[in-house]
């Protein structure tokens, strides 16, 4: 009788544990594929930008910049303009329980501010630019800028293409599994693709494309999951971007800018979860 009770107890506990195991949401398990799309806002630390081109090599120190969110709501919902605002898109895969790897394209916008005073250092040959009045050699001279005569931005944009390693951890799940909360925390790195607009020396160049540098970042997010397949997530991210060669003129390889700065980003995204069937060690049971 004692042995029967012990066996029954083990069977009950085993069945209960198995039921709880199978009731765990797949979203944190291996074989989960996820995709999301959303929109971001970003901030940047002041930086020193060096500009190099024919007849000039100078730095502007303390340059401030802002992002440029779209204010027209139709741009977010129109199929022909939904990529105009600052957006994030990502595809990822859980390669083991609680760990995912993903590839993302983060379209931020970097726009130089006008109004603050900056320090100018370097050399600008006489006659290069009559509009700014900058000519000669400078050593930290205070200057102000005007968008019509001097401007620098990456609005189409400052594109951070990165691979992320993320810990995916469930903190809550409803009894029936139709709602869950999951935290996302990890690191990322990758190249920066720039579309640069530059106004100087009486010339305005638009959307000059270059693979301009590298970025490294850390991120944290909270994901609300619905009916096992849909989710809404809020993420925050911060990191470093080094743009070592931003091409500023489309027909002149030597004309470029250099800078490095820290950035912060927040986004709201919507996405979907898909589950790829995998087998466990016995090669017969679902390995969620």
Contact 268, 222 (CB under 8 A): no
Provide the pairing of β-strand 99-112 with 56-63: unpaired
Please state the domain extents for the chain.
2-275
Q: pTM here?
A: 0.86
Q: Write out the chain's pLDDT in tens, 288 residues.
A: 444 333 343 333 343 433 344 344 578 899 999 999 999 999 999 999 999 999 999 999 999 999 999 888 888 888 888 888 999 999 999 999 999 999 999 999 999 999 999 999 999 999 898 888 899 999 999 999 999 999 999 998 899 999 999 999 999 999 888 999 999 999 999 999 999 999 999 899 999 999 999 999 999 999 999 999 999 999 999 999 999 999 999 999 899 999 999 999 999 999 999 998 754 444 444 444
Q: Scanning the structure block, which residue is given the tokens 């743009």?
A: 243
Strands 65-66, 56-63: pairing is unpaired
Q: Which two tokens stand for residue 267?
A: 């986004």
CB-side neighbour CA atoms (13 Å) of 156:
11
**In the block, which residue shows the tokens 């050699």?**
137
Q: For the domain covering 2-275, report its CATH number.
A: 2.40.160.20
């Amino acid at each position: 009788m004692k042995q029967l009770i012990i066996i029954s107890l083990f069977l009950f506990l085993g069945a209960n544990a198995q039921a709880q195991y199978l009731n765990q949401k797949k979203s944190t398990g291996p074989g989960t594929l996820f995709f999301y799309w959303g929109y971001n806002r970003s901030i940047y630390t002041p930086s020193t930008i060096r500009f190099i081109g024919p007849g000039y090599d100078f730095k502007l120190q303390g340059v401030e910049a802002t992002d440029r969110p779209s204010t027209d709501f139709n741009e977010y919902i129109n199929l022909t303009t939904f990529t105009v605002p600052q957006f994030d898109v990502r595809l990822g895969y859980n390669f083991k329980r609680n760990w995912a790897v993903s590839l993302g394209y983060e379209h931020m916008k970097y726009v130089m501010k006008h109004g603050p005073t900056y320090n100018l250092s370097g050399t600008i040959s006489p006659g290069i630019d009559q509009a700014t009045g900058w000519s000669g050699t400078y050593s930290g001279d205070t200057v102000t800028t005007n968008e019509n005569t001097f401007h620098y931005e990456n609005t189409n944009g400052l594109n951070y293409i990165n691979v992320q390693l993320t810990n995916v951890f469930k903190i809550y799940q409803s009894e029936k599994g139709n709602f869950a909360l999951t935290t996302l925390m990890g690191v990322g790195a990758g190249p920066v693709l720039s579309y640069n607009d530059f106004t100087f020396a009486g010339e305005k160049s638009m959307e000059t494309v270059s693979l301009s540098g590298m970025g490294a970042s850390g991120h944290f997010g909270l994901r609300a999951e619905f009916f096992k397949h849909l989710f809404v997530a809020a993420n925050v991210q911060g990191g470093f971007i080094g743009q070592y060669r931003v091409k500023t003129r489309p027909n002149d390889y030597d004309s470029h800018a250099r800078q490095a700065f820290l950035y912060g980003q927040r986004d709201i995204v919507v996405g979907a979860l898909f589950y790829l069937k995998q087998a466990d060690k016995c090669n017969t049971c679902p390995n969620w």
